[in-house]
Structure 1
Amino acid sequence: MDMPRFAGPVNFMRLPHLTWDDDAVEQVQIGIVGVPWDGGTTNRPGARHGPRQLRDLSTMIRWINPASGINPYEACNIADMGDAPVNPADMADSLDRITTFYKVLKEKNIVPMTAGGDHLISYPVLKAIAATSPVGMIHFDAHTDLFDNYFGGFKYTHGTPFRRAIEDGHLDPKRTVQIGIRGAMYNDDDIVWGLEQGVRIIRIEEVEDRGIKDVMAEARKIVGDKPTYVSFDIDSIDPAFAPGTGTPEIGGFTTREAQRMVRLLEGLNLIGADLVEVSPPFDNTGGTAWVGANIMYELLCVLSQSPAIKSK
């Protein structure tokens, strides 16, 4: 309360901004990182501007979660670790730079909370934090992102990250749950491949029929108590609430439903999370980024309770 929320440095959640040179980095348990890159986008670009707007809107976030009573900033040491380095002119170089940055986070036992960027950024993050053994994943999205290639063989787009992560051994398909899948399709190749690998794909209609608690109970059972990553694409939320994204699909979750689902992750062994595909050019009100910042806060709350948080 020393400074109004519209004043002061624009850092995630008004937290301290640290670099690798700061001694305080050794005490950080959760690092919030921006990845301002959308080189994997195949239609409407702009998610490269997401981290900056998410930072701005996140300054409105308060401390205590009224549903759970969690204050993530008291539960553990959290800092804004700045942006991962990217190269807007070279995809391969960007993926390498992002992976290298997250490897340092892992070496320092810092659990990453990432703000994207398009969904391809999840691949280099997983490549870094799951380099030695595959992890499970709970994935909220309108799309599976399990496609093999785009436009005649191009393997790295925001529609392919989790196929690459499974193929490369960073993601365990039998401990991967995708929730909220919907929308018209060119074909069902992604669905068929995912099911063949053991991915549990839960369409939005199934969530509606069964209810959130039942679906999330199944998701928790599938990932178990082993290390698990959470990936939240803003287009899992209906465009009535979050229009500022590259590939919107009608019939999605409400913001209240999204909050409830994330809160039901509490207690899992979470080793990182991301919030991706906020594209400010498609919502000049900032409303989509405000939704994204609130989902990031909910993710911080459950991350702060994770057994993966190391004492420092």
Structure 2
Amino acid sequence: MTAERLDPRLHAYRFDLAGIGLQGRVEAARFVEPTMARIGVGQASLKEEPYDDARQGSELLYGEAVDVYERDGGWAWVQNRTDGYVGYVRGISLIEPGAEPTHRVAALRSYLFGGPDLKLPPRDLLHITSAVAVVETRDDGWCRLADTVGGSGGWLWARHLTPLGATARDWIATARRFLGAPYAWGGRSSTGLDCSALVQLSLARSGLAVQRDSDMQAQTLGTAVEGGMDAAQPGDVLCWPGHVAFLVGGGKILHANGHHMAVAEEKLSDFRARTMEKVGDVRAVRRPAVGGKG
């Protein structure tokens, strides 16, 4: 068999183990049927290798469903069902699937409490787009989450949630809420995120699913704008090798970047002057597809 050259970021295969769905496409000593789990902590680092000092490839958020292919030595080899990303996460971050989600966090972040009392010490911090299963909404503004195998589901402030399927159509307004958030390679929350995560999360709030990394977005996000920069409009995604940014009008872009080490809005001309020699000019312009995949 001649194995396909599949992107290991999006396909669960190694020389010794692979997902059963890849049988016949890749070579591996063993093929397994994955089991489903959910992320049971506010955020969990998805590593490229199963050790703490390994580079972070992405990040998983509370409530996200993952396919688990292996558990070994305190680590789990998983694939995120949100965007297909593959990597290693600490096994203690996973919980049994439990009740199906009913809502998502719409606030940038919201504390999870052990009871309906803001004076209690928070149990965790949940982030925008995180999926939760609400089983009770009280008149005093609190929502109770479904219990898990590990115990009480906890309590969230109802105004920080939105029903599953509800969207915020203006993704630039969502992206601007992240202004000042620190830059973090592989991060996917307002406590730290990278350029492609800002695009992914902002579009997710608008109901648009896009892939995780900048090179993937440059190839698959929405539709290509054939006229390039001459035809670009506010809301489009500008793509360079290894970087993406929203065009926001007024000759400005909005992006998470390593120069500011934060999410920032700046003149496109300033970014070009700073980076032209290293990465060149815009290689692609992508227009998110309203009403469909990003």
Looking at both structures, which has the greater relative contact order when contacts are Cα pairs under 8 Å and sequence separation is at least 6? 1
Q: Shared topology, TM-score over 0.5?
A: no
Instruction: Report which of the two has the higher share of helix.
Output: 1
More strand by share: 2
Larger Rg: 2
| TM-score, normalization by structure 2 | 0.28
TM-score, normalised with respect to structure 1:
0.27
